[in-house]
Structure 1
């Protein structure tokens, strides 16, 4: 279970699991430490110290009353690492976790060994007008309870709906990917876990509202100042964070690679026929860049 720690930048809710190279998961919008924990499940606990936390305004991490900016969030993450006596960590960021991840790399470069950005927001994002069904399921307390109930009794329906809603797939492709996810316990669990955290009510509402406000007024995140290695993973039919966010980031970053997932939705890194292969690439990416940093320090 998570705990609340006090850093020089404020309090933050954190859960840590495993031993080895530290990796922090920066969850999307909405989310929380629980969603961040799911993001790290694919990494083996005997090789990685997996750090899941709630971003400001989500669950146990309250918004800073004086500064609710993206930069303050980045500084809070850096202070968390300092408090935990972690000199350097890798970053795994998804979707709405992109802005603070990029700003963390700009403002505190010495603390970051490498980054993996999954369909991450990299410039101004305007909240779209969600359909009434989404506003009910994810924007009301009853809808939240219903999603939890359906995840137990009809998981296939939740998975199918998530794939259809997070990407521009044909009905046949939705059915094909749904069957593929249902056949893989880790992928099935990932989608259902995400569905349970994707609501903007209760203790997640302040964070969601703050993200919507902050992301709509992004001018630039100064990606040109990010110098650590960045691996970008993007589904090519993602309708949540459109591919141009990743493609533009790739063009502006000085040291990046882009993996474009064919027929990949916003969930492609966790729910797709190629998900396990891509996750293995990411594990290798983290290990190689950690090892490289250690060698550089010994010179």
Structure 2
């Protein structure tokens, strides 16, 4: 089925998906975390050169303009929807870049449709059950309401350092001088600064992201198997050892079970370490090389 694109809505055989394609070269599917949306996927993909990579960004089910099916809303169903999207775009095989909550669907996609995935880069991705922590009331207001959404957007413009330090603190175990130093490093790097500020505006769990967030929370808590042993493509696992959102053991366990994988541990890295860390640029280059090296590997 050919892609029909109207206001970024692509009508696939499995339902509509908010999606877009940019650039040319090796096709890379971007799977954002939980919560998120196509705006988060765009931010995630900025390090991919558009003259070398064809980047497919989307909103996962229940986020922004991708509706959540009342019947088919499992992780398996999400993998099926991703394949339908690739079919609509007439893309036979892709590399997949998945961060955090995009990881389970990425693993299922690679497991269920091995001929459609050439390589996978999984960043801080859950590989077994993940239970959402209880959220303090202040965080519920800041990240779960329209008022909080507007406040975060205001702060990203008027007090970016405060937003960045808060994000790094909330996504890792860094505190004190260690946290302040990383905040200063991120503020001094235009790409890292932009990424954290853009992501900060995409993590509201209410509004048009509420259905996706609630579905992810339910699905991730019930994970039994993501078919890791059946994944044929090479997988690059990236994880910060100071990540408190998705702990390092998720990637260590995946590394032990995947037939072909490499694990990169970012020292004192938070959940944002692939994008906000002294070694971020180096690891991003590693990810790009991973996609290049394995684009035609099997």
Aligned residue among 3, 22, 36 for 2:41: 36
2:119 corresponds to 1:114: yes
SS at match of 2:125: coil
Change (3 A) 1:2 1:192: farther
Report the Cα distance in structure 1 between the residues aligned to 2:69 and 2:18, rounded to whole angstroms: 13
List aligned pairs for 1:145-294, cutoff 5 A: 145-293=150-298
Residue deviations 1:30-88 (CA, integer Å, cap 9, x gap)? 00011011111001000000110000000010011221111000000011001101011
Q: What is the TM-score normalised by the length of structure 1?
A: 0.96
Residue deviations 1:74-111 (CA, integer Å, cap 9, x gap)? 00001100110101100000001111110001111101
Report the Cα distance in structure 2 between the residues aligned to 1:291 and 1:104, rounded to whole angstroms: 18
List aligned pairs for 1:33-112, cutoff 5 A: 33-112=38-117
Report the Cα distance in structure 2 between the residues aligned to 1:2 and 1:32, rounded to whole angstroms: 15
Report the Cα distance in structure 2 between the residues aligned to 1:206 and 1:292, rounded to whole angstroms: 38
Report the Cα distance in structure 2 between the residues aligned to 1:118 and 1:156, rounded to whole angstroms: 24
Aligned residue among 10, 20, 26 for 1:5: 10
Change (3 A) 1:291 1:221: closer
Shift in Å, 1:222: 1.7
Report the Cα distance in structure 1 between the residues aligned to 2:230 and 2:296, rounded to whole angstroms: 23
Contact 1:8 1:79 in 2 (8 A): yes
Contact 1:234 1:259 in 2 (8 A): yes
Q: What is the TM-score normalised by the length of structure 2?
A: 0.97
Residue deviations 1:104-129 (CA, integer Å, cap 9, x gap)? 01111101000000000111111111
* Partner residue in 2 for 1:297: none
SS at match of 1:292: coil
Report the Cα distance in structure 2 between the residues aligned to 1:124 and 1:5, rounded to whole angstroms: 31
Report the Cα distance in structure 2 between the residues aligned to 1:11 and 1:159, rounded to whole angstroms: 34
Stretches (4+) displaced over 6 A? none
Aligned length, in residue pairs: 293
Contact 2:118 2:296 in 1 (8 A): no
Residue deviations 1:188-223 (CA, integer Å, cap 9, x gap)? 000001100011111100000111111111111121
Aligned-residue Cα RMSD (Å) equals 1.0
Report the Cα distance in structure 1 between the residues aligned to 2:111 and 2:126, rounded to whole angstroms: 15
Shift in Å, 1:291: 4.0
Unaligned runs of 5+ in 1: 294-299
Residue deviations 1:206-251 (CA, integer Å, cap 9, x gap)? 0001111111111111211111000000000100001111111111
Report the Cα distance in structure 2 between the residues aligned to 1:291 and 1:274, rounded to whole angstroms: 28
Contact 1:235 1:260 in 2 (8 A): yes
Shift in Å, 1:133: 2.5
Contact 2:118 2:297 in 1 (8 A): no
Unaligned runs of 5+ in 2: 1-5
Shift in Å, 1:2: 5.7
Residue deviations 1:142-191 (CA, integer Å, cap 9, x gap)? 01110000000000000001111110113111111001001110000000
Shift in Å, 1:259: 0.3
